[in-house]
Structure 1
């Protein structure tokens, strides 16, 4: 079983990006399980002074979730032209200790929805840059950026053919990369 961990960059209960992560759970290819990282809002901002043997329990749970995954799916909106602090913070905690963090060597991809002019492209690029520096192996292009204002109907991700296609393609790519990494 290949495990893909979705890190959602929005903490809002009715977040469109959370719905995209839930859609990914339903669209996972055979032999792949998508898990949504829980508790990101409880993880304190990264501070080396509180890291180590007595790291906060929420940060340790995050590291355990990342360690148990074969790949990462970053599902995020764009806040003020960049990635949300909650996602950057999760990446920072998962990257420590430097060179040995739970994120090291994990395939990663980014997608999501945003109201911004470019539909979240900058946040997706920033998140891929961050995970690459942290030691992950990102898919170099954002998998899918969606402008919420262009959605039709009720705005549910599963009703949008382009969203379903991008999520499906992303999961297939991540699954393949995770299996290649495991075989290497």
Structure 2
């Protein structure tokens, strides 16, 4: 790769002390030598309403779409709510998938990451996220499910406190970077 990859980390939690955001911030720090990661919070993105998805959509939706379009790859980091992804994350995917067949997510290499303070790490949200992202045309990275159980003990103050978790997640990001490189290769017509 000739330039540093630009990764957008979308946090699916609106909570001020979000574990999804904390994991993305820790990844940003851990990836500093090989990629630029920007963390996007969804607090200003309104509920998707097709009536508002016109020539002048809401500013929060415009910002999200622009951030997705500018990124080489995406990491969606979601908590698990009631065995599924958060409403905020599903809403972000809906905005990113529009307009139909032209959404910013089409062809975008995307890595799925879930977490939970509980023992499952949000694993039950993984299938829902992967299926929904696939429906948008995103290139969902094939990698073992990145689910972080007991997340409260694995990240603090923007850095990983658990080396195994850091290494596991960095393995997933490496797979994302390979997918980004592959997409770039095909775009160059090689």
> 2:144 & 2:98 partners in 1: Cα distance?
24
Equivalent position SS for 1:76: strand
Evaluate the alpha carbon distance shift between residue 43 and residue 37 of structure 1 in structure 2; reply closer, same or farther with a 3 A threshold.
same
Aligned-residue RMSD, C-alpha: 1.9
- Aligned partners of 1:128 and 1:140 also within 8 Å: no
**Of 10, 14, 20, the match for 1:11:** 14
Runs of 4+ in 1 over 6 A off after TM superposition: none
> 2:7 & 2:145 partners in 1: Cα distance?
15
Give 2:83's aligned residue.
81
Cα-to-partner distance string for 1:72-107 (whole Å, 9 max, x where unaligned): 101111001100011010000000011110111011
TM-score of the pair, normalised by structure 1: 0.90
Equivalent position SS for 1:41: coil
* 1:40-79 equivalence runs, <5 A: 40-79=42-81
Give 1:94's aligned residue.
96
TM-score of the pair, normalised by structure 2: 0.88
Identify the range of structure 1 (56-65 vs 116-125) with the bigger mean alpha-carbon deviation: 116-125
> 2:34 & 2:21 partners in 1: Cα distance?
22
> 2:104 & 2:49 partners in 1: Cα distance?
17
Unaligned runs of 5+ in 2: none
- Aligned partners of 2:96 and 2:104 also within 8 Å: yes
* 1:17-56 equivalence runs, <5 A: 17-28=20-31, 30-38=33-41, 40-56=42-58
> 2:49 & 2:37 partners in 1: Cα distance?
29
Equivalent position SS for 2:160: helix
Cα-to-partner distance string for 1:21-75 (whole Å, 9 max, x where unaligned): 001101216441111113x111111111110202111100100000000111011
The number of residue pairs the alignment matches comes to: 181
